[in-house]
Structure 1
Amino acid sequence: MHRITVIGGGLAGLAAAVTAAEAGAKVTVFEAHHTLGGRARTAEGPYRTNDGPHALYSGGPHWTWLKQRDLIGPLAPIPPLEAARLRLRHQGVLRRTPPFAMLKLLRHTARQAPVDVDFRTWATGQAGEEGARAAANYSAVALFHHDPGALSAAFVQERLRRATKLPPEAHYPRGGWANVVDRMAARAWNLGVRMETLSRVDTAETTGGPVIVATSLDAARRLLGDDSLTWTGGRTTLLDLAVRTRRGDAFAVSDLDSPGWLERFSAQDRSLAPAGEQLVQGQIPIAPHETKADGIARAEELLDLAFDGWRGRVTWRREAVANGRTGAVDLPGTSWRDRPAIDRGDGVYLAGDQVAAPGVLSEVSFNSALTAVSLALGRQALDLKEA
């Protein structure tokens, strides 16, 4: 029987633990926090916020993996009336539809974007400067980066297509992502996985047997003492807001003038906030030289447009900055294959959202976890194809 140690109890760590245990391995998970889930945790209390806006995309292999094991659970569908309240800020005003130039980039017949050119340059050639800017900024909902136009055209195009697909790929676990985490943890427990919370591991060398490091890339770099474990990420101001209910509030607002997104999560799941209140979560990407206040100011501009009188209706508010916690982003000339390799040698493997695995957002964590387990068990690596 193989013995595998997993460091980190987030989505990647739990996926690795379940997969390894299903293959017959004896698995131990060490989690430094007092609860499992990583960035998929959901806050306790009357306002059940995720760590920033979260959605579960149904178009990737992680959806299939979860569904096969009955781990997704009940979903909170968006009522049609609410879905019709999606708004786009373009040239300073709210619109119901994107500019026509942007639609050129969303057609199924649109050209496959190249890897080695930035999205702004490529998209401008396809749809003009206005359409390129609007499309790049809209893609921030699946990028969390302050300048999506500067990233690889192929990388941005994939996320733009996934974020605008009809019917929508985005789904919302009822009660927040913590319920998915709880089901994954229960599955691991029933398979005999030993899970140690409040257990910080300082070195992978003392654990014995194959080790899967399922932490942030920053934490993995410190743990393994490997300065090569770096990759470009995003930096985002997060705003959580509860307001008294008012008819006519937007369901979501996407900023096409600059990257940013606000969403009223209680529109589809009333359990996330007390009766008579609405829970709004937003993310505004900020550049390295910008501050949290800069992002909050832009978020409040969107609120002023889409949530009439919101300042007088606030019942709860929280602000934060997510720095280097938004997953990998690929610069021109790079793809997921160029990120830090999963196999680090000497029986150490990486899993997480900034390593060499394909997918959008949390899909990278799942794909890398499955590959890490496959390699740790001495099997041929899974054939992960680009989405």
Structure 2
Amino acid sequence: MEHIHRQTRTDVHVHVIGGGLAGLTAAITAAESGARVTLYEGHRTLGGRARTTDGPYRTNEGPHALYRGGPHWAWLARRDLLGSVVSVPPLEALRFRFRRAGALRRVPPAALLRLARRSPRTAPVDADFRSWAAGQVGDEGARAAAHFAAAALFHHDPGALSARFVQERLHRLSSLPPEARYPVGGWARPVDRMAGHARGLGVAVETAARVDTRTLGELARTGPVVVATSLGAARTLLDDASLTWESGRTVLVDLAVRTRRGDAFVVSDLDAPGWVERFTAQDPGLAPAGEQLLQGQFPIGPDARRAEGTARAEELLDLGFPGWRERTTRRTEALADGRTGAVDRPGTTWRDRPAIVRGDGIFLAGDQVAAPGLLSEASFTSGIEAALLAVKAAGPRSGQRSGYGVDLNRT
């Protein structure tokens, strides 16, 4: 692990509200910059949406994969916080399937592959993805590409979003070799390592500590505050109606099924946004012997009922996992509404989202604020930046920026 220089500033006290990925990143960054840090988490455990359920079925509530091209991969690796990670075994990668025109296929349309190779910089910010992509590869290829990219969007109509925004995600999802790596044992493992590292730096962690507007005001009088909660929670806490941004609305289906030889690894729906992954393919220890864990995500519109997403999930399961109903040993469903990261409409980028700096010593972090990155990467990026700005705001002697931060202007 690379040594991180730290000189404690006992006169600087940074408060971090929220113990998810953004909050832990902010707390570590502020502590490494020399500040005294207290982290407040309303639940009894840390992790936020990066929690993993206790065994025997270890399912992730939020993130599944780390992307090697992202900023948090290098950040975690520098601090020896990655732990064991695995990629998709080559034989499993051969079991990637696509639903096209109602049938299961082994390969996607060639037009999708051609489009995925194009640099995101060729896609305009102010045009919708559907129109731009159709001009590049035709209507059918554009529709398939938009639906494939939904795996990193959780949005019911990816084609209506900014072409640049969608193309960035399509390009990274389709990279070869794949960027995705999976923490062995689920996301709870890196969360536990981050929490241990934070405590080792002197961060005081208070769980089951709910902060309300009055308490926030009291904290802000003693030092800068990083609010690292969901955007909705931040809107209430800060009483700031401007803290809004569009996110996805997605039905999540988790299944444990008895193992069957020949099951698909992934089934990507190219007829509509949707995706099912057998994520014990890369980490069999997440389920008891002889069983596999599947998770599907099926975006639905703002007025659609959850049953619509469930029905689409079952259609995809029928194609890729024959006999899944008789083999199911556990099933849970959830509706994730506004909990899947920001999406950008044409004419907007991450720079237009709610700003990190809120004034009066308040700073914002999370996956829907003005920071770049794929999915949870925005939480890391904003957590680092919010902490550095908080320490800097506390006084001219605070913090060493070199080596800690993310230059948002370069992204």
- TM-score, length-normalised on structure 1? 0.98
Answer whether contact 1:89 1:254 (CA < 8 A) is retained: yes
In structure 2, the residue matched to 1:210 is: 224
2:155 is aligned, of 145, 161, 164, to 145
SS at match of 1:72: coil
1:385: how far off?
4.4
State how far apart, in whole Å, the 2-side matches of 1:385 and 1:327 are: 21
TM alignment of 1:230-245, pairs within 5 A: 230-245=244-259
Answer whether contact 1:252 1:264 (CA < 8 A) is retained: yes
1:111: how far off?
6.7
Answer whether contact 2:156 2:273 (CA < 8 A) is retained: yes
TM alignment of 1:129-168, pairs within 5 A: 129-168=139-178
1:61: how far off?
1.1
Comparing 104-113 with 33-42, greater Cα deviation is found at 104-113
1:376: how far off?
0.8
Q: Is structure 2 residue 291 aligned with structure 1 residue 281?
A: no
Instruction: Describe the shift of the 1:111–1:99 C-alpha distance in structure 2 as closer, same or farther (beyond 3 A).
Output: farther
Structure 1 consecutive aligned stretches of length 4 or more whose deviation exceeds 2 Å: 107-111, 379-382
1:39 is aligned, of 37, 44, 49, to 49
State how far apart, in whole Å, the 1-side matches of 2:120 and 2:212 are: 49
In structure 1, the residue matched to 2:240 is: 226
Q: Which amino acid aligns with 1:206?
A: E
Q: Which amino acid aligns with 1:355?
A: V
In structure 1, the residue matched to 2:321 is: 307
TM alignment of 1:14-53, pairs within 5 A: 14-52=24-62
Instruction: Describe the shift of the 1:179–1:382 C-alpha distance in structure 2 as closer, same or farther (beyond 3 A).
Output: closer
In structure 2, the residue matched to 1:333 is: 347
Instruction: Describe the shift of the 1:101–1:111 C-alpha distance in structure 2 as closer, same or farther (beyond 3 A).
Output: farther
State how far apart, in whole Å, the 2-side matches of 1:265 and 1:125 are: 35
In structure 1, the residue matched to 2:395 is: none
In structure 1, the residue matched to 2:5 is: none
The number of equivalent residue pairs is 387
In structure 1, the residue matched to 2:407 is: 383
Answer whether contact 1:53 1:282 (CA < 8 A) is retained: no
Structure 2 alignment gaps of length 5 or more: 1-8, 393-398
- Per-residue CA distance 1:33-79 (angstroms, 9 max, x = gap): 11100000000121100015621111011111001011110012322
Q: Is structure 2 residue 354 aligned with structure 1 residue 354?
A: no
In structure 1, the residue matched to 2:304 is: 290
In structure 1, the residue matched to 2:66 is: 56
In structure 2, the residue matched to 1:115 is: 125
Answer whether contact 1:340 1:356 (CA < 8 A) is retained: yes
Q: Is structure 2 residue 23 aligned with structure 1 residue 13?
A: yes
Answer whether contact 1:104 1:110 (CA < 8 A) is retained: no
Comparing 199-208 with 339-348, greater Cα deviation is found at 199-208
Q: Which amino acid aligns with 1:365?
A: S
1:321 is aligned, of 324, 327, 335, to 335
Answer whether contact 2:156 2:299 (CA < 8 A) is retained: yes
Q: Which amino acid aligns with 2:407?
A: D
1:131: how far off?
0.4
Q: Which amino acid aligns with 2:161?
A: L
In structure 1, the residue matched to 2:382 is: 368
Answer whether contact 2:128 2:163 (CA < 8 A) is retained: yes
2:80 is aligned, of 54, 70, 88, to 70
1:104: how far off?
2.3
State how far apart, in whole Å, the 2-side matches of 1:371 and 1:321 are: 31
State how far apart, in whole Å, the 1-side matches of 2:236 and 2:344 are: 22
1:107: how far off?
2.4
2:208 is aligned, of 193, 198, 201, to 198
SS at match of 2:86: coil
Q: Is structure 2 residue 353 aligned with structure 1 residue 343?
A: no
In structure 2, the residue matched to 1:95 is: 105
Answer whether contact 2:57 2:286 (CA < 8 A) is retained: yes
Instruction: Describe the shift of the 1:300–1:131 C-alpha distance in structure 2 as closer, same or farther (beyond 3 A).
Output: same
State how far apart, in whole Å, the 1-side matches of 2:325 and 2:378 are: 38
Structure 1 alignment gaps of length 5 or more: none
Answer whether contact 2:25 2:380 (CA < 8 A) is retained: yes
- TM-score, length-normalised on structure 2? 0.92
CA-based RMSD: 1.3
Instruction: Describe the shift of the 1:76–1:210 C-alpha distance in structure 2 as closer, same or farther (beyond 3 A).
Output: same
Q: Which amino acid aligns with 2:84?
A: P
SS at match of 1:166: coil
Q: Which amino acid aligns with 1:253?
A: V
- Per-residue CA distance 1:151-190 (angstroms, 9 max, x = gap): 0000000000011100001110000000010000000010
State how far apart, in whole Å, the 2-side matches of 1:283 and 1:53 are: 12
